[in-house]
Chains A and B, each alone.
Chain A
């Protein structure tokens, strides 16, 4: 079915699509997130207190398929056929058409997924940004519509869990759900998101025995360390990220970028 639809698409549409995509990239909306401190789910052994977070600006929405298609047109080395395997393993854009074809127009406003960490990093660089650190992501995601840290509210937790409980077999919704306290959309309920330091969520700096001991520490982790009941919902994000290598991608993993506050591409 997919292939038939793709063939039926005239080349004209592809051109339109890329044009539209370029416009969106330039208009990418970043909102300021002021400095503060975060009681992270990941607790420091040296300092168990809150983590200081410097101010930054975060993309208001995850990167969409249209935006990513425009990026591919500008940087064809990241197209599926040309991206090196070491940067993008075989799942990369697996459900896209040839080259930079993002598919049916209905899905253009959905978050891009099937993107490797390397590719996400390159995208963010292309608009003068970078991937957020885990703590930056967690800091922004702790908010609900009216509060900077809503994690003690069962409704906040219920919303996250609701998404975990839905199977991922349907098409992704368009970006632009309700804005949170900072004006950031869709941190929960649409896709997982890459973070810059995803790899450090597991790697032990002192480990000399490769990744195996630390993987064991993670696997079977579960309920033991929950400081509060909300933590496990966030920990599932870490579980997902820690199962991946930087060249990997999945059909429910997207990304967004951050940059220094006030910066422009």
Chain B
């Protein structure tokens, strides 16, 4: 029987002060990293690329300004300004230069940038023209792929503009043996290399790069030791003692491994922080923190060197630090990943390799830390299986009840077999953690490329109605004129063909980016901390990890399921609507007003069509045509008919209400994405695997999608994750759960995401928590994979929109992560408000 300490530990008064300091100002962009990497690259031309990466990393760590924030117990800041960010020009830079004047005032994730910083970045960026991974990736892509991206069928922008990230390194090992231990391992491997070996050239360069990197990390920690010592000299009393301990922690443990829990926390932090200096890839996920930190905790606790209260305080401090790291994305991506999130996912509970539950004191301390700190990071997750202790789940539900949107709940009973289906042995599968939003991964062994793309499943459906055309251009395969289709099966096959074609282009795009990172932006520092890289002589980007995947995610399942059902019912079964009528109704937004985008789209289409017919129309006439399109008035009877068609559609059963007939269509729709995806392979020798989650991209990508046959109006958000479409699940949470559980989650081994919003009254009292946990367990009994919650009243959210100043710390669940509500764009706020709120029946 496992033993663990359950009572909630108190919050130190230090914590709110740390949080306050962190959020006192708007985050700021700094130029140090960009300047340093540019200097280093200029000096290292002609050397092996992997070594240049390490030389640059060393140069940055040697010279980047360092700071200890007031009252910190865990130190290491990437920027002088709290929550500031550095830039990463080796991936891309043009978007940031274009936004220098607007980034401070943009809607999603604004950053302050000083005139001087802008000038310094502009100067550094000059070097990078023609040298970035994004430019190389683009040059690798097939022309039809670029066309599909231009037409917003899918986006691979995240890894195109940024580093990849999305891994969990072997924290436990590095904390134990230190970076010095890592250097010894690399040196030993290096000693075994023979000049005649086929991989001698690449392997030795990589190992030397790793040795440089780990030495740089040790030296960086020593800079903090010196700084802490200097500051201690200026302080007295408790703070002086704290700073002296910090100095000692930074002096030896990073090199030799941690002996105490506090040292372990500090080394953990350097690993976490430095990975995110090496590359801009996000979702650097601490994974099973409660497991690998436990031996250090237990040893100190048993020896009487550590109190539980102080352990709590240290963990709380780490939670604060996880919010100190930040990243500036381009305006479009910022909408898709809104809320300044770095998706550092940390998971508690679950089984070990042997299938035993390993809940411990730290599992509870982690949950309490999220309650104490009450900030979006880390993305706290919890593993649930049949052997999960009830008190852990109740404690997690108690956190959910605060409205923070944490933790996200994961089902061992689906994820373990899903990973085994991808060739992961049982022991490793049982040890899974979650990366980023919802992506299962074997910690310390995987380069999963977990967030490889957003694929909007509604767009290929639009292409069925246009025979592969978009804006008058043939961008996809011709599947026939939709009006001439005689059977539902014919229609379905056309959609399948459009999907298959676009999925093949998505793969091309991801593989092009994959190779560009391999060529230009290897990350030896992170690679050495993932099993098999040193031995295989390959960095992560070359396929050095034990497990290699690419996981692009599809979304809009609910819309497509409902749409397929509506087409079958109304057009083919009951003949109440003709396909021509449906097509025209969709084009005219079901008789509802056309927005600017629809009008422009129609105008562009019209011009292209006229040009095809031989008319010469210069581009300068576009505004005229737009004006004319805007003036088109539909005859009343036509408008009424379109509205009537939409009413008929809306009256049909919808996915999310536990109605088998339509739920079956959503299941099929999900397969149309997940089955073809798993047939592809990436350049690292790994398999593609589907995810079904949108981050927050269902809003911006929905804004690029016309009206759909499920009655969804043009340019409104599409359904998020595997959740029912907003407002259509009206039979309560059990019905919604049952519907969603009918999808095949096991095949979506890159994760599924199910959002539910609850009114606080549904979780009140002990019974409320018990019933809430029972609801999750029941969804999991039916093989649901993941579930997350917003527990906040609609009135609260509306009031927060009106008076954001009163709700600076209102955290809500967005997608696979939580964010401060007031930092989200208006449309994303609206989307969250409009998610169906589940109350209990009165």
- The reply to whether chain A is a binding partner of chain B is no
